[in-house]
Amino acid sequence: MSDVLLKIRDLKIEGRSDETWNPIINGVSLDLKKGEVLGMIGESGAGKSTVGLAAMGYTRDGVRISNGTIEFDGIDLVRASAAVKRGLLGKRIAYVAQSAAASFNPAHKLMDQHTEGPVQHGVASRKESEADGIELYRRLRLPNPEEIGFRYPHQVSGGQLQRAMTAMAMACRPDLIIFDEPTTALDVTTQIEVLASIRDIVEQFNTSAIYITHDLAVVAQMADKIKVLLKGDEVEEADTRTMLSAPKEEYTKSLWAVRSFERPTKPAINVSATPVVSIQNVTAAYGTVDVLHDVSFDIHAGRTVAVVGESGSGKSTTARCITGLLPPRIGHIEFDGTPLPLSYKQRNKDQLRQAQMIYQMADTALNPRKSIGETIGRPVEFYMGLKGREKRKRVEELLAEIELEPTEYFNRLPSELSGGQKQRIGIARALAAEPKFIICDEVTSALDQLVAEGILRLLAKLQDELGLSYMFITHDLATVRSIADEVIVMKEGEVVEQGPKKEMFTPPHHPYTDLLLSSVPEMDPDWLDNLLRERGVDNLGDAAVDKM
Amino acid sequence: MTALIWIIGGLLVMLAIAWGFRSAAQKATDNKPYFRDMPLGVAFGYVLATAAIIFSLWYFFQPKDVDGVPQAGVIFFRWAVMGLLMAAAAAWVFRTIFRNVGTEGSKKLFRSMPLTAAFGVMIIIAYAIVSIFAGFIAPYGQEEILANANIVAGGDPALGGNPEFPLGTDQIGRDILSRLIYGAQNTVGIAFITTCLAFLLGGTLGFLAATLGGWLDQLLSRMVDAMMAIPALIFALLLMTIATAWAGSEAWLVTIYMILIIALIDSTRVFRLSRAVGQNIVVMDYIEAAKLRGEGLGYLIFREMLPNALAPLLAEFGLRFCFVFLTIASLSFLGVGIQPPKADWGTMVRDLSQFINFASFAPNVAITPLLAAGAIALLTVAVNFVVDWMLHKSSGLKE
């Protein structure tokens, strides 16, 4: 027998919608040898997850394999009976999902869930599997390996949960693990430790893996070879180093080039000018717990201030204070030199109009029952008092401004738009109020890289044309690099460091900024190794943050 | 004891047949995945269903009477089967017509409609027409005393019926068909008004509680909890007794009070639902965006939230309508609902209920009290079919 573990040939998958079967995957083939890691990248909707699941002989409801073969260690998974698959899944093929928090059963302790597979498959007794679980937790460098398994999922952090899930996948020592975007929902600093531990454990047990992600830099660290998918088609496949240095196809090159967008540096701020928004000594609390401590910064006209930090650092809370959703306990916010009422309820229409917001999740930011025309038309009518034909004309202007064909999109519902288009509508709604200042709350983090770049370019263009000021909340330093003028680093509700972008990206840094910067994966396949050598294995992520 | 042995024995035989059926099918189809992965329970289900169909067919063709004694079971079973088949056929014809007639939108709607929903829509339309035009359709007035009591339905003189009154006359000689038609107007009309009122009250307060939260939410919710703690029918009866005393001899006032009381009691359930639905919507970013825009409460509730809550609320409207309708029928049956001489279905069931005892020897006499009950049941089933379909549609919309 050859050493090929998984062999997929000409796989075609169809999904059912509108009463017909539509192709999702049009002929993907792959070979995976023992101990090899295949990175699968592509935009959302490219079919990465569908192929990943099909490698386990599984399809989601309403989806079927219409053609091709999937051979796992000589077993044809397309034709295998349910009983045969039951014997394989969990035991020889395992799956690690994107959101560990949503995939663990919140009602059972981690260890109970960990041991279920081995016990059910008859691989080990409960006791053996428990001991093995603790050993795996140790190898994955989870804190308190002896004890952590006896907690409930909500009692451990997101990064730890993701590693516990990897441990669970390893519980039966499978030959193949499918990782479906395991670090996408994590902070950069947490991501590192998960990446490092996944890679270690896969190497230690000589496990094959398919690593699905949309982040090129991540895949560069993890995979031996990379396959690029686009809308269900295979674009190209090559060895990781070859792929990174010399991509063949146009599409791959465009993916590689995404991070090249960077705006020219603007002249220094005139310090004597009145800032558009000035946050002064703001301390805010949820209930009785202070979550922001004495935060102060200014945002000047025509500037973009990027606020970076991990989740929980108080970025979004600062935004809520500015909009007045969470009135600060101490301190106040000035707009154009005059103090704003603390709560949005006490602000007048003009004060509300001047500060607009664009949300992270365009799905929940747009009313699904309102057409695009209505959504954008409402602020036009509400603030500007335009009605009928004038209103329609203004909405069409706005649509043109966000680079969508006015007549085509006017009557559409949000469900008929792609993620990037929805985000553009969110921008148009903010613009409709003709504000001076816009808060962009993680506007690109839910989008694919190519689409996100388009949104960033659009925001930059609008700023140049309309002289807008942005407060740009993000955890992605690549985004900061491309769009920001000034950077504010936050940690645990405090401003750690602030200054012009150029200063921030050149040493010396505040140690926390340094940690953040060095944690951003780079497209260099050796980056993770170098970083681990520099920091030492025990000084990653949470541990490093805690030591500060 | 013997019956038990028969039942257990029968089930075991069927289980054996199911096992045989599955392995035979596996052999015959060369292990097609469908049969290969079929659990024994599913195979058993097939066998059980086949047995039930065979039994029904056999029972359907049993003689109607043996030695001059009518076999009530066989007769009612035949009526039920034929009624079901006719209903299905009528619904199919109805759907086929509207798939080809009407605007593009309505044609498309009927093309995606299952037969059950088409049946429901058909029945609801029929009821609406009958209740709106009751005065033109009914051959006699609802209060007219016309002839001697003759409850034999069918109008066949050979069986003792009177051709002038196709469904017979009740104990004091009023035409049952006319009363059924007027009953549609009274019962369905009042139920519709009551349900609308309940939704207006419960829906508005529920959304208000969800949006504002805080002490208002606490106050309203605890009041609703307290009201829901009292069994609905008993509460309604209690209030109706008081209302009847207040109304004195004014029969129409009793009806108004009944509408208000049932609307109030049912609005608690609507409040619960709209509050829960509202709370899910109110946390959405688009509501936050509207708040930050400076929109008022009215716009938030009616323009931003209501369109998104419409699907569950409409479904609840259908169900609630059935319950209100049944409550009115029960109250009338107990004598505190719609007051005589107005015709309503609940009262008709009560007045004619003793004839149900004739079922075993004169099935066509026993049918009379069942007519009104059947009218209630038919509408309830129809509304539920439509509601199921709407729920299915709205759940599909989310994906």
Instruction: Judge whether B137 lies within some domain.
Output: no
Task: Write the residue in A323, A352, A368 that is nearest to B308 by C-beta.
Answer: A368
pLDDT at position A2 is: 56
Instruction: Judge whether B315 lies within some domain.
Output: yes
The rounded distance, in Å, linking the Cα atoms of A145 and A149 is 7
* Contact (CB<8Å) A367/B37: no
Instruction: Judge whether B121 lies within some domain.
Output: no
pLDDT at position B397 is: 47
* Contact (CB<8Å) B37/A82: yes
Instruction: Give the C-alpha distances (Å, rounded to integers) separating B238 from B232, B260, B261, B268.
Output: 10, 14, 10, 17
For chain B, positions 281-300, list CB contacts with chain A under 8 A: 284-286, 288-289, 291-295
Whether residue B53 sits in one domain with residue B76:
no
Looking at the complex, report in whole angstroms how far the Cα of residue A301 sits from the nearest Cα belonging to chain B: 22
Residue B104 touches partner A, C-beta closer than 8 Å: no
Compute the average pLDDT of residues B257-271: 93
Instruction: Give the C-alpha distances (Å, rounded to integers) separating B367 from A281, B174, B363.
Output: 83, 17, 6
Compute the average pLDDT of residues B193-198: 94
Domain count, chain B: 3
pLDDT at position A539 is: 58
Residue A437 touches partner B, C-beta closer than 8 Å: no
Low-confidence ranges of chain A (pLDDT < 50): 1
Domain A4-257 and domain A277-506 have a common topology: yes
Using the predicted structure, report yes or no on whether residue B9 has a pLDDT greater than 90.
yes
CB pairs < 8 Å spanning A and B:
50
Task: Write the residue in A82, A357, A367 that is nearest to B308 by C-beta.
Answer: A367
Residue B308 touches partner A, C-beta closer than 8 Å: yes
Instruction: Judge whether B151 lies within some domain.
Output: no
Whether residue B188 sits in one domain with residue B85:
no
Categorize the per-residue pLDDT at B399 as very low, low, confident or very high, splitting at 50, 70 and 90: very low
CATH of domain A4-257: 3.40.50.300
CB burial class (10 A; 0-12, 13-18, 19+) of residue B379? buried
**Which of A79-83, B170-174, B188-192 is predicted most confidently?**
B188-192
Residue A320 touches partner B, C-beta closer than 8 Å: no
What's A277-506's CATH class?
Answer: alpha beta
Whether residue B385 sits in one domain with residue B323:
yes
Structure tokens given for B341:
């001489």
In percent, how much of chain A has pLDDT > 70? 96
* Contact (CB<8Å) B291/A344: yes
Find the radius of gyration of the CA atoms of chain A: 25
Domain boundaries, given as residue ranges, for chain A:
4-257, 277-506
What percent of the residues of chain B are helix, what percent strand, and what percent coil, each to the nearest 5? Answer: 80, 0, 20
Range of the domain at B94: 72-113
Q: What is the pLDDT of residues A412-426, one digit of tens each?
A: 888 888 888 899 999
Using the predicted structure, report yes or no on whether residue B274 has a pLDDT greater than 60.
yes
Whether residue B85 sits in one domain with residue B29:
no
Whether residue B79 sits in one domain with residue B55:
no
- Which chain A residues are Cβ-neighbours of B292 within 8 angstroms? 323-325, 344, 352, 357
What average pLDDT is seen over chain B?
86
The rounded distance, in Å, linking the Cα atoms of A30 and A11 is 9
User: What residue type is assigned to position B348 of the chain?
Assistant: M
Q: What is the pLDDT of residues B37-46, one digit of tens each?
A: 788 889 999 9
Contact A394, A384 (CB under 8 A): yes
The rounded distance, in Å, linking the Cα atoms of A281 and A290 is 13
pLDDT at position A140 is: 79
Instruction: Judge whether B237 lies within some domain.
Output: yes
Sequence-distant (≥ 6) Cβ neighbours of residue B45 within 8 angstroms: none
Instruction: Judge whether B222 lies within some domain.
Output: yes
The rounded distance, in Å, linking the Cα atoms of A428 and A431 is 5
pTM, 2 dp: 0.77
- Which chain B residues are Cβ-neighbours of A81 within 8 angstroms? 33, 36-37
Structure tokens given for A219:
């895949």
* Contact (CB<8Å) B33/A81: yes
Sequence-distant (≥ 6) Cβ neighbours of residue B385 within 8 angstroms: B116, B117, B119, B120
Whether residue B103 sits in one domain with residue B215:
no
Instruction: Tell me which residue of B378, B297, B370, B303 sits closest to B125, measured CA to CA.
Output: B378
Q: What is the pLDDT of residues A32-54, one digit of tens each?
A: 888 888 888 887 777 888 888 88
- Which chain B residues are Cβ-neighbours of A320 within 8 angstroms? none
Instruction: Tell me which residue of B335, B319, B200 sits closest to B260, measured CA to CA.
Output: B200
Q: What is the pLDDT of residues A493-542, one digit of tens each?
A: 888 888 888 888 877 778 888 888 888 877 777 788 888 777 765 555 55
User: Nearest residue on chain B to A433, judged by CA atoms?
Assistant: B293
For the domain that residue B288 is a member of, what is the CATH number?
1.10.3720.10
What average pLDDT is seen over chain A?
84
* Contact (CB<8Å) B285/A378: no
The rounded distance, in Å, linking the Cα atoms of A64 and A15 is 6
pLDDT at position A472 is: 92
Task: Write the residue in B285, B295, B304 that is nearest to A364 by C-beta.
Answer: B285
- Which chain B residues are Cβ-neighbours of A381 within 8 angstroms? none
Residue A347 touches partner B, C-beta closer than 8 Å: yes
Q: Give the distance, in angstroms, between the CA of residue A262 and the centroid of all CA atoms in the same chain.
A: 21
Looking at the complex, report in whole angstroms how far the Cα of residue A365 sits from the nearest Cα belonging to chain B: 4
CB burial class (10 A; 0-12, 13-18, 19+) of residue A20? exposed
pLDDT at position A260 is: 64
Using the predicted structure, report yes or no on whether residue B219 has a pLDDT greater than 60.
yes
Whether residue B247 sits in one domain with residue B109:
no
Which contacts of B273-276 are long-range, i.e. CB under 8 A and separated by 24 or more positions? Answer: B273/B202, B273/B206, B273/B312, B273/B313, B273/B316, B274/B202, B274/B203, B274/B206, B274/B207, B274/B210, B274/B309, B274/B313, B275/B206, B275/B207, B275/B209, B275/B210, B275/B217, B275/B221, B276/B210
Structure tokens given for A353:
């109009």
Instruction: Tell me which residue of B292, B290, B284, B281 sits closest to A378, measured CA to CA.
Output: B290
